[in-house]
Structure 1
Amino acid sequence: MNAITTEALAKKVMDWCDQLAAISSNPENISRFYLTPEHKRCNTLVAQWMREAGMETWVDAAGNLCGRYGAQEACAKTLILASHLDSIPNAGAYDGILGVLIAIAVVEQLYQNNITLPYAIDIIGFGDEEGTRFGSTLLGSRAVAGTWNPAWWKLKDRAGISLQKAFIDFGLQPENIHSAARNPDDLLAYLEVHIEQGPVLEDENLALGIVTAIAGARRFAIEIQGYAGHAGTVPMPMRKDALVGAALGIVLVEDVAKEFNVVATVGKIECGPGAVNVIPGHAKFTIDIRSGDDQLRDQALAKIQHELDLICIERNLTASWNEIHNAPAVVCADWMQSLQASVLCDMNLNPYKLMSGAGHDAMAMADICDVAMYFVRCKGGVSHHPDELVTVEDVALAIEALGNTLKKLAQ
Structure 2
Amino acid sequence: MQQEYLARAERIMQRIQQLAAISEDADGVTRTFGTPAFLQGRALVQGWMQAAGLPTRLDGIGNLRARLESPNPAAKTFVLASHIDTVVNAGKFDGPLGVLMGLDLLENLIAQKAELPFHIELIAFSDEEGVRFHTTYLGSKVVAGSFEPAWFARPDAAGITLAQALETMGAEATQLATDAIPAADWLGYFEMHIEQGPVLWERNVPVALVTAIAGQQRVELTFRGMAGHAGTVPMNMRQDALCAAAEFVLTAEQFAQVHGRGLVATVGKLAISHAASNVIPGEVTCSLDLRSPDEQQLAQAYDYLRSHAETVAGHRNVALNWKPVQQTAPVTCDAGLNALLAQAIADSGHETIPLVSGAGHDAVPISFVAPATMLFIRCYQGISHNPLEDVELPDLAAAVAVADRFISELIIKNEELKMG
Would the TM-score normalized by the shorter structure come out above 0.5? yes
- Please state how far the C-alpha of 1:229 moved relative to its aligned partner: 4.8
1:361 aligns with 2:359: no
d(CA) in 2 for partners of 1:278 and 1:349? 59
Aligned to 1:402: 403
Aligned to 2:297: 296
Q: Which amino acid aligns with 1:343?
A: A
d(CA) in 1 for partners of 2:279 and 2:170? 55
Residue-pair matches, total: 410
Which piece of structure 1 moves more, 129-138 or 352-361? 129-138
- Please state how far the C-alpha of 1:244 moved relative to its aligned partner: 2.3
Conserved in 2, the CA contact under 8 Å of 1:256 and 1:303?
no
Aligned to 1:389: 390
Conserved in 1, the CA contact under 8 Å of 2:85 and 2:128?
yes
Secondary structure at the counterpart of residue 220 of structure 2: strand
Please give the per-residue CA displacement for 1:135-155, whole angstroms capped at 9, x wherever unaligned. 322221111111222222223
- Please state how far the C-alpha of 1:159 moved relative to its aligned partner: 4.0
d(CA) in 2 for partners of 1:17 and 1:35? 20
Conserved in 1, the CA contact under 8 Å of 2:75 and 2:119?
yes
Conserved in 1, the CA contact under 8 Å of 2:72 and 2:118?
yes
Secondary structure at the counterpart of residue 5 of structure 1: helix
Which piece of structure 1 moves more, 64-73 or 161-170? 161-170
Conserved in 1, the CA contact under 8 Å of 2:130 and 2:137?
yes
1:372 aligns with 2:373: yes
Conserved in 2, the CA contact under 8 Å of 1:209 and 1:354?
yes
Please give the per-residue CA displacement for 1:305-363, whole angstroms capped at 9, x wherever unaligned. 33444444544445332212222222211222222211111122111111112221111
Output the TM-score relative to the length of structure 1.
0.92
Secondary structure at the counterpart of residue 380 of structure 1: helix
d(CA) in 1 for partners of 2:340 and 2:8? 24
Aligned to 1:255: 254
Aligned to 2:129: 130
Secondary structure at the counterpart of residue 409 of structure 1: helix
- Please state how far the C-alpha of 1:238 moved relative to its aligned partner: 4.8
CA separation of 1:318 and 1:160: change in aligned 2, threshold 3 A: closer
- Please state how far the C-alpha of 1:125 moved relative to its aligned partner: 0.7
Structure 1, unmatched stretches of 5+, are none
RMSD: 2.4
Q: Which amino acid aligns with 1:331?
A: T
- Please state how far the C-alpha of 1:106 moved relative to its aligned partner: 1.4
Which piece of structure 1 moves more, 147-156 or 91-100? 147-156
After TM superposition, list the pairs within 5 Å mapping 1:236-251 onto structure 2: 236-251=235-250
d(CA) in 1 for partners of 2:106 and 2:149? 35
Aligned to 1:345: 346
Aligned to 1:68: 67
CA separation of 1:235 and 1:17: change in aligned 2, threshold 3 A: same
CA separation of 1:66 and 1:247: change in aligned 2, threshold 3 A: same
d(CA) in 2 for partners of 1:276 and 1:37? 41
1:121 aligns with 2:135: no
Conserved in 2, the CA contact under 8 Å of 1:82 and 1:103?
yes
- Please state how far the C-alpha of 1:257 moved relative to its aligned partner: 0.8
- Please state how far the C-alpha of 1:73 moved relative to its aligned partner: 2.6
Identical residues among aligned pairs (%): 39
1:319 aligns with 2:309: no
d(CA) in 1 for partners of 2:94 and 2:163? 27
- Please state how far the C-alpha of 1:225 moved relative to its aligned partner: 3.9
d(CA) in 2 for partners of 1:232 and 1:24? 48
CA separation of 1:284 and 1:66: change in aligned 2, threshold 3 A: closer
After TM superposition, list the pairs within 5 Å mapping 1:45-84 onto structure 2: 45-84=44-83
Q: Which amino acid aligns with 1:386?
A: P
- Please state how far the C-alpha of 1:289 moved relative to its aligned partner: 0.7
After TM superposition, list the pairs within 5 Å mapping 1:112-191 onto structure 2: 112-191=111-190
d(CA) in 1 for partners of 2:104 and 2:50? 12
Q: Which amino acid aligns with 1:367?
A: F
Conserved in 1, the CA contact under 8 Å of 2:140 and 2:365?
yes
Aligned to 1:216: 215
Secondary structure at the counterpart of residue 145 of structure 2: coil
CA separation of 1:283 and 1:32: change in aligned 2, threshold 3 A: closer
Conserved in 1, the CA contact under 8 Å of 2:93 and 2:390?
yes
CA separation of 1:235 and 1:59: change in aligned 2, threshold 3 A: closer
Conserved in 2, the CA contact under 8 Å of 1:81 and 1:121?
yes
- Please state how far the C-alpha of 1:17 moved relative to its aligned partner: 0.5
Which piece of structure 1 moves more, 245-254 or 111-120? 111-120
CA separation of 1:237 and 1:25: change in aligned 2, threshold 3 A: closer
d(CA) in 2 for partners of 1:81 and 1:233? 63
Aligned to 1:20: 19
Conserved in 2, the CA contact under 8 Å of 1:4 and 1:109?
no
- Please state how far the C-alpha of 1:234 moved relative to its aligned partner: 4.8
d(CA) in 1 for partners of 2:363 and 2:286? 30
Structure 2, unmatched stretches of 5+, are 414-420
Aligned to 2:101: 102
CA separation of 1:159 and 1:340: change in aligned 2, threshold 3 A: same
CA separation of 1:235 and 1:30: change in aligned 2, threshold 3 A: closer
Which piece of structure 1 moves more, 113-122 or 98-107? 113-122
Please give the per-residue CA displacement for 1:343-401, whole angstroms capped at 9, x wherever unaligned. 11112211111111222111121232111111111112111121110011111111111
Q: Which amino acid aligns with 1:85?
A: I
Q: Which amino acid aligns with 2:256?
A: A
- Please state how far the C-alpha of 1:30 moved relative to its aligned partner: 2.1
- Please state how far the C-alpha of 1:26 moved relative to its aligned partner: 2.9
- Please state how far the C-alpha of 1:40 moved relative to its aligned partner: 3.4
CA separation of 1:154 and 1:322: change in aligned 2, threshold 3 A: closer
Which piece of structure 1 moves more, 54-63 or 73-82? 54-63
Conserved in 1, the CA contact under 8 Å of 2:217 and 2:302?
no
Which piece of structure 1 moves more, 206-215 or 22-31? 22-31
